[in-house]
Amino acid sequence: MGIDISLFLEKLREEIKSYKVPVVELVSVQTRDPFKVLVATILSARTKDETTAKASERLFKVAPDSETLATLSQEQIKKLIYPVGFYKAKAGYLSNLPKALEAFAKKVPSDLDDLLTLPGVGRKTASLVLNVAFQKDAICVDTHVHRIMNIWGYVSTTTPLKTEMALRKKLPLHHWQEVNTILVTFGQGTCHPVSPHCDRCVLLDLCPKKGVTPRKIH
């Protein structure tokens, strides 16, 4: 018998109210501007939230929209976003972004396939932009979502893409927009990839803990 996914997400929704919100969601609270949400999401890949937040703030002070971003050289963008992970590659993506947006009247598109044509945008980034900037139903699967859904045994998959496809078939539609925010926040705060805090987990008595080695309590 599988887990009650709605119960699990309901408990975590309450639990994470006191946690730090992931930076992309924080940007969306401050502004619903799809351009800023997109850029922050690109910068956030393989980068700590604090670093992403500072880099986004520096960049947006100089280039708050695609028109002003187009006036910056790739070298200027590098200096503004350093030290985000893979900052050289990301500077290249952002340098090419204004030109790519011309195909969509210089606006960030609200369609998954259109978003995937933009530089530096994969399925995770595209889905997160659809969720956060456009409030559209899309399942954003990052490493936390992939890992925790497998820990729960809700899916049995080997990659984030396979997890996304499995969740599309199984996860109730009304959870699609919230699942990434809930599980990323929970994964950063309690259910860590290494030595998770099972001892203080609100799901301690419910979680199947598949493949988990709990943190040692001294």
Q: Which of 90, 142, 170, 209 is catalytic?
A: 142
| 99 part of the active site | no
Please tell me what DSSP assigns to residue 217. P
142 a catalytic residue: yes
**Cβ neighbours, 10 Å, residue 41:** 26
Number of C-beta neighbours around residue 194 at 10 A: 6
**Cβ atoms 63, 76 nearer than 8 A:** no
Dihedral Cα 171, 173, 175, 181, nearest 10 deg? 100
| Active-site residue, selected from the candidate residues 36, 78, 90, 124 | 124
* Angle (nearest 5°) at CA 147 between 141 and 153: 105
Q: Are 163 and 157 in contact (CB under 8 A)?
A: yes
Cα-only R_g, the chain: 18
The packing angle between helices 143-151 and 179-189, to 10°, is 80
- By annotation, the residues acting in catalysis are 124, 142
